[in-house]
Amino acid sequence: MLQVPHGGPELPQRRNLVTEIPGPASRALFERRLGVVARGVSTTLPVFITAAGGGVLLDADGNSLIDFGAGIAVVSVGNAAPDVVSRVSAQVAQFTHTCFMVTPYEGYVEVCEQLARLTPGEYEKRSALFNSGAEAVENAVKIARHYTGRQAVVAFDHAYHGRTNLTMALTAKNMPYKQGFGPFAGEIYRVPMAYPLRWPDGPDACRAEALSVVKSLIHTQVGESNVAAVIIEPIQGEGGFIVPPDGFLRGLADFCADHGIVFIADEIQSGFCRTGDWFASSHEGVVPDLVTTAKGIAGGLPLAAVTGRAEIMDAVHPGGLGGTYGGNPVACAAALGAIETMESLDLSARARRIGDIMLPRLRKLAETYPVIADVRGRGAMVAVELTRPGTLEPDPASTAAVAGACHRAGLVVLTCGTFGNVLRFLPPLVIGEELLEEGLDILEDAFASL
């Protein structure tokens, strides 16, 4: 075993490269991996991590990298966050699993109490806990169908909701998520997303038209009375950090309410302080009927939830929802530690501050490099979209080149977007401002090297 420093916020908060990226130890591990790990499970940056905390990842070669990915928006409270570590350690020594459906425990109830308190809406709520985001989405659809007695589900262009069979059907993008994995679940209908940059006549037309286009498609092609649920990410994640114009989500929620359709906000990526509020829906005061959460909820342990109106959630018969591990006691302990951290450090305010630092710098970058067609996002969920200058033609090659240059310089950035032409930035919310600025310097150099 390698002797490595402990992770958590004590890990020195600086970038430090001692080998090329990836270094020899990581390359050797990658070789081992090739012989045993299925190649379908891909890798963004093949450095093997030995410790992490704050805004830093330490690799097997002793390199310290700056983290602008947070494990895809998961470790918002930082890796090995002290409140998470202490609660998890205590729980794991006490008991690790009983199955909540067999003999329950308090942690599960406590997480549901926190979800009732923190999610949008003042109404009476219930939650059910699961293991992954996809599983939460599957269950939200099951619940909405059961409650309404209807089958159709409306999802959006550029949506991402997971990789299980039902959620593949909800996810828009074929490669890599769906290619060769059909047949997909039925009764899923897709409507255009209010995507300001790519709306046919531009952002103003998007603001003016998107909602009525969606409503009209639902009316003519599905029929409101057949629709169990409309599901949307308040800010789309994998699809490209697409922020709909103000009014779109609210109008959609009102339309659902008018027609007895369950409005599901998939806050798996945007939730838990990421966008500068507990949930991105709250930006416009939108109150969903059901909210799906995962990722940031538990500081890195696998936990997910469906939370919503009691009458909808409780429509399902006893035994209709569950799973062996859903709401595992260790994951629940982690969630309670993560929520405690979000409150004690006011991580929503931190997310807003991160956005206030990043967005102006990215906008300045866009003035210098016309390959940047759009700068968007909210709080600590921000992105730039790259196109051939002066056009809307996606430029995934430049996107990959910039990401690669960042990686080689020790900055972990992720890409996304239906066309693979979006660089997204999702730092842990506890990242120090010096590291944040240094990461942006590296990004600037990466654009300069294009």
Residues of this chain that interact with ligand PLZ (CB under 6 A) are 72, 132-134, 137, 160-163, 233, 237-238, 266, 268-269, 294
Q: Give whole-number Cα distances, 420 to 80, 173, 192, 238, 285, in Å.
A: 31, 10, 19, 10, 31
For the bound state, the minimum distance from the C-beta of residue 299 to ligand PLZ, rounded and expressed in Å, comes to 14
Nearer to ligand PLZ, 268 or 440 (CB): 268
Strand partners, 154: 189, 230
Instruction: Specify burial of residue 250 (Cβ count, 10 A radius: 0-12, 13-18, 19+).
Output: middle
| Residue 308 DSSP SS3 | strand
The residue among 72 and 217 lying less far from ligand PLZ, judged by its C-beta, is: 72
| Residue with Cβ nearer ligand PLZ (72 or 99) | 72
Nearer to ligand PLZ (CB atom), residue 39 or residue 317: 39
Which residue, 266 or 438, has its beta carbon nearer to ligand PLZ? Answer: 266
- Provide the Cα torsion 351, 357, 360, 362; round to 10°: -80
What is the SS3 assignment for 66? strand
Q: Which is nearer to ligand PLZ, 23 or 133 (CB)?
A: 133
Instruction: Give min distance, CB of 90 to ligand PLZ, in A.
Output: 25
- Please give the Cα distance from 204 to 226 (Å, whole number): 31
Strand partners, 125: 309
Please, are residues 56 and 67 in contact by the beta-carbon 8 Å criterion? yes
Shortest distance in whole angstroms from residue 93 CB to ligand PLZ: 27
Q: Reduce the DSSP state of residue 262 to 3 states and report it.
A: strand
Kindly report the number of other CB atoms within 10 A of residue 404's CB atom: 15
Q: Strand pairing of 188-191 and 152-156?
A: parallel
- The nearest distance, CB 344 to ligand PLZ, in angstroms, is 26
For 187, the 3-state DSSP assignment is coil
Q: How far is the CB of 178 from ligand PLZ (least distance, A)?
A: 12
104 or 176, CB closer to ligand PLZ? 176
What is the helix (H) or strand (E) element at residue 337, kind and residue range? helix 329-344
In sequence order, which residues have a C-beta less than 8 Å from that of residue 38 and are 6 or more positions away? none
Structure-derived torsion over alpha carbons of residues 253, 373, 408, 378, reported in degrees to the nearest 10? -30
Identify which of residues 75 and 134 has a Cβ nearer to ligand PLZ in the complex.
Answer: 134
Nearer to ligand PLZ (CB atom), residue 268 or residue 305: 268
Q: What's the chain's length in residues? A: 450
Distance in angstroms (rounded) separating the CA atoms of residues 115 and 93: 25
Cβ-closest residue to ligand PLZ? 133
Nearer residue to ligand PLZ within complex by CB, 23 or 162 = 162
Q: Could you give the CA distance from residue 341 to residue 52 in angstroms, rounded to a whole number?
A: 17
- Smallest CA-to-CA distance from 97 within 311, 354, 295, 333 is with 333
